[in-house]
Each structure stands twice: as structure tokens, then as C-alpha cells.
Amino acid sequence: MTECGLSPACRKLLDQEEILFQNEYQKHYLAGETKGPEIGAPFLLHHPESRNAVLLIHGLMAAPFEVRQWAGYLFSKGYTVYAPRLAGHGTSAEDLATRNFEDWVDSMEKGYAILALCSEQVIVAGFSTGGGLALHQAIRHPKRYRAVISVSAPMKFSGLSSKLSEAVEFWNRAAGMLKLNSLQKPFARNHPDNPEINYHRCPIHAFNQVKALMRAVYQGLPGIAVPVLVVQGNQDPKVSPKAGKLIFDRVRIPEKQYVEVAYPLHGIVRGQIGASVFNAVNEFLSVACGLCRNCK
């Protein structure tokens, strides 16, 4: 964490988020499921001389480390970057199963408060569910952000099983009321691209919260008033390849850009494929937002 030149108020907020993570990590730790604390901890990369910052959001069942490579790239271009930990992440799937998407929004609000104390302009960006949350922030706060970047936001899922999740959660509640707990199915198996980061169990409730989030985002997309970059993998097996265009077409502001990435997996912000996404982000911020290379 690079904290040179931070104000006491900013350091205080950073410390609060670190303590919150440590407490929740200990409380919800599950052997065999919980990753190392370096995976789940929120982090700040601070450029003391930069006016511009990026609030960078990880995806569902992941953790801040998922966007660490992306953050490093942005930092190399002169941006201050803060990657908050979304509530219920970096701990265990049991923890995530108790959270609603407004809890994740609250995590982002805390992240913005940190960046507002050490920068003049904030861009909000995210991957997967983080991309949906980034759009949600731009909708909720139309004058707060300089731009919004959404990568693989789950506006539409692939596969039939995703359509049954609400029915499964309804059954889980009914079975609980009838004390038929053995018949409940609170989790589904997850096959992550990054098993060293992600949970291997997906809480049905959390998945449905993503769908609720994206319904709210869909309704609000026409109201986004800042430049928008939408990036989508054209062979994504988890989020429908059509999702990016659904988002892009519904945004009305002229300062919008759509980039399609050829890749057969969902995770496109890590490894070699990440370079394609990062370069598109850099070009968008340089051209659409008029931010210079060193962002000062």
C-alpha cells in the first residue's frame, strides 16, 4: 500500500477498512475455503502528485486481488487507485450468503470517501459484478464521477441454471420455515477462472442479489451522464456475450465506447488477455475523457 502524502483523515478511513477486514476475516474464516489475507485485503496505490483516481471494483465471489494487475497498470499510467473489498468477500461463502447488494454499494461508498480525500477527480471501474456496481454508482451519483468503465457486467447470464436461481431461493426459504433444512440448497458449485482467489461455492442468495442489482442498473442506464466504456468478452461462458451490447445500446450519452475482446473465459482482467482490456481503458480515458498520459 502506497500512502505517501496522505492526510490524517484519509489514513483514518484506510485503517478502518483494514480493521474491518481483519475482524471479518477472523470471524468468518473457514479452513479449506478462506484464502490468505493478502487476497482479500483492500489496497491503495497512491500517486501524491496525481489529481485523478480510479475506484476499482472486483467481482462476485472474488476479492481485491482479482483487480491487482489492473490496478498496477493504472498506477503506472499515473492514477491513484483504490480497490475496496466488497462486503462478504475475502472471507468465506458463508459470509457472502448473508449480504445484499446494498452492502456492496456501501463498501463502494467507503472507497469513494477515501479517494475523495486524496484526489480531485474519480473514475469508477469494475469487472463482472464490479462492472455492474460501477454503473450503479454512476447512475446513483450522476455528478460524482469523471467516467465509468464496465468490464463484463452481468446484464445477461449464459446457461439455463441461472434462470432458476430465484425459484431455488424461494424453495430454500419455504424449506426453512417447514424445518426441512436437509432439503435446502443454499450454495451452487462455482468453477472459477482464478481458483486461488474466488470462492468455490456460490451462495444462491448472492447470485440473486447480482440479478437484482442489474435490474436496477438496466432501469437507470439512460440516465448516466458521464463518458462510458463497456468491455465484453465475445466468448464469455458465464456472462452472455450479448450483455455488453445490451448495456451499451441503453446508454444515451454520446460519449460512450464499446470494446469486444476475443477470449473463451469470463476472466479478462488478469494474465495476458488483461493487456487488451487495459490498453482499451487507457485509450478511452485519454481520448473520451481528455486525461493525459501521466494524469497530473
Average the pLDDT over 117-140 and give the result.
97
pLDDT of residue 260 exceeding 70: yes
What is the β-pairing status of strands 52-57 and 43-45?
A: unpaired
HEC assignment per residue over 86-148: CCCCCCCHHHHCCCCHHHHHHHHHHHHHHHHCCCCEEEEEEECHHHHHHHHHHHHCCCCCCEE
pLDDT of residue 264 exceeding 70: yes
pLDDT of residue 167: 79
Q: How far apart are CA 63 and CA 24, in angstroms?
A: 14
pLDDT of residue 179: 78
pLDDT of residue 294 exceeding 70: no
Average the pLDDT over 256-279 and give the result.
97
Strand, helix or coil for residue 3:
coil
Digit-coded pLDDT (tens) for 198-209: 999 999 999 999
pLDDT of residue 161: 63
pLDDT of residue 292 exceeding 70: no
pLDDT of residue 1 exceeding 50: no
Average the pLDDT over 230-237 and give the result.
96
Digit-coded pLDDT (tens) for 149-191: 999 999 999 865 677 777 777 767 776 777 777 776 889 999 9
Q: How far apart are CA 267 and CA 143, in angstroms?
A: 30
Contacts of 50 (CB under 8 A, 6+ apart): 78, 79, 80, 119, 294, 295, 296
Average the pLDDT over 41-70 and give the result.
96
pLDDT of residue 244: 98
Domains and CATH numbers, the chain: 8-158+214-287 (3.40.50.1820)
pLDDT of residue 235 exceeding 80: yes
Q: How far is CA 158 from CA 126, 152, 155, 239, 241, in A?
A: 20, 12, 10, 5, 8
pLDDT of residue 140 exceeding 60: yes
Share of the chain above pLDDT 70, in %: 94
DSSP per position, 168-222: HHHHHHHHHHTT-GGG---EEE---S-TTTS-SEEEHHHHHHHHHHHHHHHHHGG
pLDDT of residue 142: 95
pLDDT of residue 158: 84
What average pLDDT does the chain have?
A: 93
Q: How far apart are CA 235 and CA 116, in angstroms?
A: 37
Q: Kindly state the cell numbers that stand for 27.
A: 470471524
In this predicted structure, which of 140-144, 158-162, 185-189, 280-284 has the lowest mean pLDDT? 158-162
Q: How far apart are CA 126 and CA 115, in angstroms?
A: 16
pLDDT of residue 171: 62
Q: How far apart are CA 293 and CA 192, in angstroms?
A: 34
Q: How confident is the model at residue 291 (pLDDT cuts 50, 70, 90)?
A: low
